């Protein structure tokens, strides 16, 4: 069992104990352990009880529960609670704004045990009548339900890529050529179909092989002789496996990668790109390397009289408009990144020290690491008050002494944007940082006018260097708060503020559709991982993918600046502030 799986089970146990009104002390014990262990880097599953009790928030009782989880994969206490809890009640915890007490009230007072009943109760006005709820809460619940319904059957980019790679590895042991296609290949931020193309000259035999694989479950009604549809065990998203002979693979890979609006774009003589692709005469690629596949697809665009578009950008006609001003060679790549900004350490809610995070950045070949731990308002995340800011900066000074001129840690902070748009430190404290990432984390239910005004004031603050995750969205879980993107981007241009592409696959915020407008206004974008551990630093891969989808160039990528360029930029900016 991984740490996250163990913590999830402890957290769910604490939540269900509270739901069933069990002993308050024991409930808090589970909740406290889950909260503290979420930051732990210890290998929880392999520690004995006598070592577990040395960890923050872990007493002997919880330590024994952890051992039970590690050894059996289950927790008896949790299994008993789950047996007493309707499955639909657990689904209610997915509704934004519904804590344990409200879920318990809805269950016990209205007898609601599933999301359908919850929606009916809201539509009938029953929820608003409950003490402590009201019309406003009822409307928020209905809006959250509508959002969840829209997200059903989808997974984030990271999970889709994991599924697709697992399938490709498994299928490649049975078939000569297997290619990732569809939404996964063009790096969609949300995926409702994980699609792969399989090369075979015998589709009947291939279907038989697919149905022998233990983790694949076919939907016979949705399948056809040349298309296997179903699901992969453990994932609630459709899997689609398309069967083609060798001579069709390149053409079909191109067709199935691009979205319909892209394929409808007119090529030579007004003929749609899709029609030209079907008519193209592409040779079989004997050695289907990425370069060979790209060459085959370039031939299709060439026959259409259109510029070659990289897979990430094959969404609609935007790519062709972009290509009239740029070349594909300008698009940002992972290798273009020189450093990383907006990261968290054990000083706030991260799992690794500043030193360990910086060391891993050096292993990745980066030349600078920017720490941006949470600020004092984020007390729930161990936010830093002014004294702890000073202590962290002293630590960074010591670490920097050992790096020479080839690497540097920059002193940053993720300063909370308060409800009125001000930052949560005074100017004297803000002046001590190399840069400031200004982000909203609380009070997310403002109108568009108020939310925009709030961000505009933060952008106007001379200490704001980067606007962090501008809408605060969590993909498949929470809609972003409404903002006037044009007004925000225009203000960033006026005040020389960088906009973040939060590379966490949970966020990918700012949305890729606004990247080109930002660049046109002269606003640089920073691909920030918002990393809370070493692995999180690799999330910049997702940020690069989304950046490329939106046409982000290396020249407009903030953290593609070299160490010297970044140092000069930040120093000059601070000098201008202090004039």
- Helix H, strand E, coil C: the string for 113-147 is CCHHHHHHHHHCCCHHHCCCCHHHHHHHHHHHHHH
Residues 462 and 425 occupy one common structural domain: yes
Positive/negative CA dihedral, 531, 534, 540, 542: negative
Q: How many CB atoms lie within 10 A of CB 50?
A: 9
Q: How distant, in Å, are the alpha carbons of 135, 140, 176, 560 from that of 248?
A: 57, 50, 14, 39
Query: Domain of 181: which CATH number?
Result: 3.30.460.10
Q: Binning pLDDT at 50, 70 and 90, where does residue 149 land?
A: confident
What is the enclosing helix (H) or strand (E) of 439?
Answer: strand 435-439
| DSSP-derived secondary structure letter, 272 | B
Q: Binning pLDDT at 50, 70 and 90, where does residue 13 land?
A: very high
Residues 80 and 222 occupy one common structural domain: no
Which pLDDT score, from 0 to 100, does residue 284 have? 60
Mean pLDDT, rounded, for 174-193: 97
Residue 525 covered by a domain: yes
| Residue after which a domain boundary falls, among 151, 172, 205 | 151
Residues whose CB falls within 8 Å of the CB of residue 429, separated by 6 or more in sequence, listed in order: 386, 389
Residue 253 covered by a domain: no
Q: Binning pLDDT at 50, 70 and 90, where does residue 443 land?
A: confident
Model confidence at 23: pLDDT above 80: yes
Which pLDDT score, from 0 to 100, does residue 287 have? 67
| Residue after which a domain boundary falls, among 279, 303, 325 | 325
Query: Domain of 102: which CATH number?
Result: 1.10.150.110
Residue 177 covered by a domain: yes
Residue 249 covered by a domain: no
The alpha helices in 402-447, defined as continuous H runs, are 427-430
pLDDT digits (tens, 9 = 90+) for 542-568: 999 999 999 999 999 999 999 999 999
Residues 175 and 266 occupy one common structural domain: no
Residue 76 covered by a domain: yes
Residue 555: phi and psi, rounded to 5, are: -65, -25
3-state DSSP call for residue 368? strand
Residues 141 and 157 occupy one common structural domain: no
Mean pLDDT, rounded, for 363-374: 98
Residue 406 covered by a domain: yes
Residues 424 and 414 occupy one common structural domain: yes
Model confidence at 282: pLDDT above 70: no
Q: Binning pLDDT at 50, 70 and 90, where does residue 234 land?
A: confident
Residues 511 and 366 occupy one common structural domain: yes
Give dist(CA 94, CA 87) in Å, integer: 12
Q: Binning pLDDT at 50, 70 and 90, where does residue 283 land?
A: low
Residues 208 and 309 occupy one common structural domain: no
Domain span including residue 381: 334-578
Residues 19 and 74 occupy one common structural domain: yes
| Residue after which a domain boundary falls, among 279, 302, 325 | 325
Model confidence at 206: pLDDT above 90: yes
Residue 557: phi and psi, rounded to 5, are: -100, 115
Residues 105 and 183 occupy one common structural domain: no
Domain count, the chain: 4
Residues 162 and 33 occupy one common structural domain: no
Mean pLDDT, rounded, for 330-344: 98
Residues 365 and 237 occupy one common structural domain: no
Give dist(CA 323, CA 262) in Å, integer: 13
Residues 436 and 361 occupy one common structural domain: yes
Residue 20 covered by a domain: yes
Q: Binning pLDDT at 50, 70 and 90, where does residue 365 land?
A: very high
Residue 250 covered by a domain: no
What is the overall mean pLDDT for the chain? Answer: 94
Give dist(CA 504, CA 337) in Å, integer: 16
Query: Domain of 396: which CATH number?
Result: 3.20.20.140
Give dist(CA 24, CA 39) in Å, integer: 24
């Amino acid at each position: 069992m991984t740490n996250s799986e163990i913590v999830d089970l402890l957290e769910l146990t604490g939540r269900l104990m509270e739901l069933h009104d069990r002993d308050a002390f024991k409930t808090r014990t589970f909740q406290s352990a889950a909260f503290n262990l979420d930051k732990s880097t210890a290998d929880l599953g392999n520690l004995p009880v006598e070592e577990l009790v040395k960890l923050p928030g872990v007493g002997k009782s919880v330590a024994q529960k952890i051992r039970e989880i590690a050894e059996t994969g289950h927790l008896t206490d949790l299994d008993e609670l789950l047996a007493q809890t309707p499955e639909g009640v657990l689904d209610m915890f997915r509704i934004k704004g519904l804590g344990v007490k409200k879920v318990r009230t809805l269950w016990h007072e209205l007898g609601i045990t599933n999301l359908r009943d919850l929606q009916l109760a809201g539509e009938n006005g029953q929820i608003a009548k409950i003490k402590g709820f009201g019309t406003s809460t009822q409307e928020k619940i209905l809006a959250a339900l509508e959002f969840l319904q829209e997200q059903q059957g989808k997974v984030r980019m990271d999970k889709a890529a994991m599924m697709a790679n697992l399938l490709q590895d498994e299928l490649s042991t049975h078939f000569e050529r297997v290619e990732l296609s569809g939404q996964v290949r063009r790096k969609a931020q949300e995926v409702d179909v994980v699609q792969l193309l399989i090369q075979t000259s015998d589709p009947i035999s291939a279907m038989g092989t697919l149905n022998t694989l233990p983790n694949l479950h076919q939907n016979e009604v949705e399948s056809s002789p040349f298309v296997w549809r179903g699901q992969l065990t453990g994932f609630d998203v459709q899997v689609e496996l398309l069967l083609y002979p060798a001579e069709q693979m390149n053409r079909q890979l191109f067709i199935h990668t691009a979205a319909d609006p892209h394929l409808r774009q007119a090529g030579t003589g007004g003929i749609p790109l899709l029609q030209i692709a079907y008519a193209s005469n592409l040779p079989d690629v004997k050695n289907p390397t990425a370069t060979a596949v790209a060459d085959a697809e370039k031939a299709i665009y060439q026959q259409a009289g259109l510029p070659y578009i990289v897979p990430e950008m094959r969404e609609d006609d935007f790519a062709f408009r972009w290509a009239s001003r740029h070349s594909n060679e300008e698009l940002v790549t992972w290798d273009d990144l020189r450093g990383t900004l907006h990261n968290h350490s054990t000083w706030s809610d991260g799992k690794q020290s500043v030193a360990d995070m910086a060391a891993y950045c050096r292993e990745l070949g980066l030349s600078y690491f920017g720490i941006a731990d949470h600020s004092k308002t984020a007390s729930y995340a161990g936010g830093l008050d002014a004294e702890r800011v000073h202590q962290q900066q002293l630590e960074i000074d010591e670490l920097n002494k050992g790096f020479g001129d080839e690497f540097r840690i920059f002193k940053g902070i993720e300063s909370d944007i308060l409800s009125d748009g001000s930052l949560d430190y005074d100017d004297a404290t803000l002046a001590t940082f190399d840069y400031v990432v200004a982000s909203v984390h609380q009070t997310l239910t403002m109108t568009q006018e108020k939310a925009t005004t709030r961000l505009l004031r933060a952008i106007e603050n001379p200490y704001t260097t980067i606007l962090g995750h501008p809408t605060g969205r969590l993909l498949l879980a929470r809609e972003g708060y409404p903002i006037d993107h044009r007004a925000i981007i225009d203000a960033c241009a006026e005040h020389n503020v960088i906009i973040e592409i939060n590379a966490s696959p949970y966020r990918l915020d700012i949305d890729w559709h606004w990247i080109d407008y930002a660049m046109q206004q002269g606003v640089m974008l920073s691909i920030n991982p918002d990393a809370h551990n070493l692995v999180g630093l690799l999330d910049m891969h997702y940020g690069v993918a989304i950046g490329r989808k939106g046409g982000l160039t290396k020249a407009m990528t903030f953290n593609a600046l070299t160490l010297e360029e970044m140092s000069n930029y930040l120093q000059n900016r601070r000098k201008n502030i202090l004039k």
